[in-house]
Structure 1
Amino acid sequence: MSSEHHTLDIFILDKAYKIACPPAEQDNLQRAAQFLDRKMREIRGSGKVLGLERIAVIAALNISHELLSRQQAEHEPQVGADAVAGLLKRLETALAEDTSST
């Protein structure tokens, strides 16, 4: 197996990023970037969260929550998924309040 990496251009919210990636993983990375782009566009489109960094954090928390929920459904209930869901709700509320006060 070669450790050779190629550069892949991905686009998230119309911004280009060059990512080093083995050729065998480029399709997976492209799909992951498209998934993240869709999630971030959904959040931006809601109008509740402003700023690229905040949109990225909310998207990351949403994706993490989805992952934990799927893991919980596949295995024994895990402590953490409920905590992440509660944290996500509180964070979204705080960010919405913060953007409305500026």
Structure 2
Amino acid sequence: MTQQTQTVTVYILDKEYHVVCPVEERSNLERAAAYLDGKMREIRRSGKVIGAERIAVLAALNITHDLQHRTRQLEEVSDMNGEQMQQLMGQLEQALANT
């Protein structure tokens, strides 16, 4: 089965980009482009960085940092949930053994 694709036009920092993506990924692509555009505009507004390429690199670094931080948070929650599950399983086994 062939995957349907389409060309989507997105705007990032006042530049137009045409991106080919699967039809079902269009809204995700548009959200990602809007998010990147917002981050790049935020950096540009700070006035500390000049040039679209430098702004793009700093935006990529900031987004990557946020992603890594959230990934660590999810791993910590997952570890806590695993520990809680082990405790509950132990309590269940103990309760079943006592019946």
For the superposition of Structure 1 and Structure 2, which TM-score range results when normalised by the shorter chain? 0.7 to 0.9
- Give yes or no for the alignment of 1:50 onto 2:45: no
Query: Percent identity between the aligned chains?
Result: 55
Q: 4+ residue runs of structure 1 moved beyond 6 angstroms?
A: none
- The residue number in structure 2 matching 1:88 is none
Q: What are the within-5 Å matches in structure 2 for residues 5-24 of structure 1?
A: 5-24=5-24
- 1:1-102 equivalences under 5 Å are 2-76=2-76
- Give the TM-score of the pair, scaled to structure 1: 0.72
Q: Any unmatched runs of 5+ in structure 1? A: 77-102
Which residues of structure 2 form unaligned runs of 5+? 77-99
Corresponding residue pairs, total: 76
Distance 2:23 2:2 in 1: 10
More helix by share: 2
Deviation at 1:14, TM superposition (A): 1.1
C-alpha distance in structure 2 between counterparts of 1:5 and 1:27, whole Å? 13
Of structures 1 and 2, the one scoring higher in RCO (CA 8 A, sep 6+) is 1
